[in-house]
């Protein structure tokens, strides 16, 4: 295994770890949003995460400030904060598992933005994997007048923003400090939250449960997950990253079934299986497709 393959494998495993954190975060956020309004939640989460970054990495963040990292961090932070805010409002209006599945639709938008912005086409196995993942998402969502609501729409818009964020991060993270870029995008989310908080009806009902959930979402889902994605996503493509992230709703649905007593139907099980298969095919499918082509070509020449 050469160095580039090792880095690619390491990067994709790191992104899988990020996905496990984000998948469980839907449950914590769903519980938290009962007693904390969405923008206030964003402000508190990003404030705590920013303070932790400053405490852990003061020299790297405060010394030798990179103007590009500040500017790019603000752009990424704007996309991330808008996506998270829409997702949080949507989460109040739909189930945690459905919110996660709809957010996974970013798997459609990341390759589109990858072609437009990076001029980099996804591989055949990526495209087939994305199609399989979409079938899995469809098993859960099936938008009809009976079960498709405004919260679902907000989650889909969030998915578009997250798809764009994934591609822009790929462009901005190369050759830059992951610590600086992670800090500035999270701190930007905090500042953007301050701009919009006057327009929100603020709700905050303190409890120990709220504190625990907030710490989990700030430390793991913000500090750890954002740093991992910023550091390791550059070793793969945005479309491959988006396919890996699509396992997030599977984790969220399992967690929601266990912690929130949300139902896990047969249809959702089919969806989860399709998503897992889509991720697997995106990862190993290129070799399989090449093998089939080679076999077909050799038989044609006989």
Cα 8 to Cα 235: distance, rounded to the nearest angstrom: 5
For residues 281 and 128, the answer to whether their CB atoms sit within 8 Å is: yes
8-state DSSP, 147 = T
Q: Dihedral (C-alpha) 60, 66, 70, 76: value to the nearest 10 degrees?
A: -90
Q: Which residue carries 């996506």 as its tokens?
A: 83
Cα 206 to Cα 190: distance, rounded to the nearest angstrom: 20
Distance of CA 233 to the CA centre of its chain: 12
User: Which parts of 197-265 fold into alpha helices (H)?
Assistant: 208-218, 225-232, 238-245, 248-259
First to last CA, the chain: 34
Cα 215 to Cα 220: distance, rounded to the nearest angstrom: 8
Cβ contacts of 43 within 8 Å, gap of 6 or more: 190, 193, 194, 197
pLDDT tens digits, residue range 48-92?
A: 999 999 999 998 888 767 788 889 999 999 998 899 889 888 878
Percentage of the chain lying above the pLDDT 90 cut: 32
Residue-by-residue pLDDT tens, the chain, 302 positions: 566 778 888 888 999 999 899 888 878 888 898 899 989 999 999 999 999 999 999 988 887 677 888 899 999 999 988 998 898 888 788 776 677 777 777 888 888 898 889 888 877 877 888 888 878 877 765 544 456 788 888 988 999 999 999 999 998 988 888 899 999 999 999 999 999 999 999 999 999 989 999 999 999 999 999 999 999 988 888 888 888 887 877 787 788 777 777 666 777 778 878 887 887 777 667 666 666 666 665 555 55
This prediction has a pTM of: 0.82
């Amino acid at each position: 295994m050469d160095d580039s393959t090792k880095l690619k494998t390491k990067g994709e495993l790191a992104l899988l770890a990020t996905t496990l954190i984000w998948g469980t975060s839907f449950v914590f956020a769903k519980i938290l949003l009962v007693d904390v309004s969405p923008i206030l939640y964003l402000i508190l989460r990003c404030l705590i995460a920013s303070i932790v970054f400053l405490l852990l990495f003061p020299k790297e963040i405060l010394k030798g400030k990179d103007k590009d990292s500040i500017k790019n961090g603000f752009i990424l932070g704007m996309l991330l904060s808008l996506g998270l805010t829409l997702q949080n409002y949507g989460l109040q209006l739909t189930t945690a598992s459905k919110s996660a599945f709809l957010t996974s639709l970013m798997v459609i938008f990341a390759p589109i933005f990858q072609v437009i912005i990076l001029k980099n086409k996804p591989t055949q196995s990526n495209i087939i994997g994305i199609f399989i993942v979409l079938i899995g998402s469809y098993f859960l969502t099936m938008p009809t007048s009976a079960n498709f609501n405004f919260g679902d729409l907000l989650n889909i818009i969030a998915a578009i923003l997250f798809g764009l964020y994934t591609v822009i991060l790929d462009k901005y993270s190369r050759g830059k400090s992951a610590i600086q870029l992670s800090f500035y995008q999270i701190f930007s989310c905090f500042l953007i939250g301050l701009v919009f908080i006057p327009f929100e009806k603020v709700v905050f009902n303190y409890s120990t449960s709220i504190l625990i959930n907030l710490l989990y979402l700030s430390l793991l889902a913000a500090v750890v997950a954002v740093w991992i994605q910023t550091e390791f996503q550059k070793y793969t493509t945005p479309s491959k990253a988006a396919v890996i992230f699509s396992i997030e709703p599977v984790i969220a649905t399992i967690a929601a079934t266990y912690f929130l007593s949300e139902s896990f139907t047969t249809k959702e099980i089919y969806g989860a299986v399709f998503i897992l298969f889509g991720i697997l095919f995106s990862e190993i499918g290129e070799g399989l497709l090449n093998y089939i082509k080679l076999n077909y070509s050799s038989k044609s020449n006989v």
